[in-house]
A and B are shown apart, each in its own frame.
Chain A
Amino acid sequence: MKNKYSIFSLIKNAFSYHENWEKAWKDPEPKKEYDAVIVGGGGHGLATAYYLAKKHNMKNIAVVEKGWIGGGNTGRNTTIIRSNYLWDASAGLYDHALKIWEGLSQELNYNVMFSQRGVMNLAHNLQDVRDLKRRTHANRLNGIDAVYLNTKEVKKFCPIINTSQNIRYPVLGGTLQRRAGTARHDAVAWGYARGADEMGVDIIQNCEVKGIKRNGDTVEGIETTKGFIKTKKIGVVAAGHSSVIANMAGLKLPLESKPLQALVSEPVKPIIDTVVMSNAVHAYVSQSDKGELVIGAGTDDYVSYSQKGSHDIVEGTLNAILELYPIFSRMRMLRQWGGIVDICPDASPIISKTSIKGLYFNCGWGTGGFKATPGSGDLFAHTIANDEPHKLNAAFNINRFVSGDLVDEHGAAAVAH
Chain B
Amino acid sequence: MFLINCPFCGEREQSEFKAGGEAHIVRPKQPTELSDDEWAEYLFMRKNIKGIQFERWNHVHGCRKWFNMVRDTSNDQIKAVYKMGEKPPVK
Contact = CB atoms under 8 A, between A and B. Distances in A.
Contact of A310 (B14, B41, B48, B57): B14
A361 B45 CA distance: 15
Interface residues of B, number: 28
Given A256-B21, A304-B73, A312-B15, A402 B46 contact: no
B76 A254 contact: no
A401 B15 contact: no
Contacts, number: 73
B30 interface: no
B48 A253 contact: yes
A244 B15 CA distance: 27
Contact of A243 (B15, B21, B48): B48
B47 A252 contact: yes
Nearest to B44: A254
Interface in A237-251: 241, 243-244, 247
Given A310-B1, A310-B15, A402 B50 contact: no
A305 interface: yes
A244 B73 CA distance: 12
Given A303-B49, A345-B44, A401-B44, 5 more contacts: A252-B41, A252-B45, A310-B14, A342-B48, A402-B39
Interface of B: 1, 14-15, 18-19, 21-22, 36-37, 39-41, 43-50, 53, 55, 57, 71, 73-76
B46 A243 contact: yes
- Of B21, B53, B76, chain A has the most CB atoms within 10 Å of the CB of B76
13 contacts: A241-B50, A243-B46, A247-B49, A252-B41, A252-B46, A256-B46, A302-B57, A303-B73, A310-B15, A342-B48, A402-B37, A402-B39, A402-B40
Contacts of B14: 310
A402 B36 contact: yes
A301 B50 contact: no
A301 B45 contact: no
Given A310-B14, A310-B15, A311-B1, A401 B45 contact: yes
Nearest to A257: B48
A386 interface: no
A306 interface: yes
Contact of A306 (B41, B43, B74): B74
A403 interface: yes
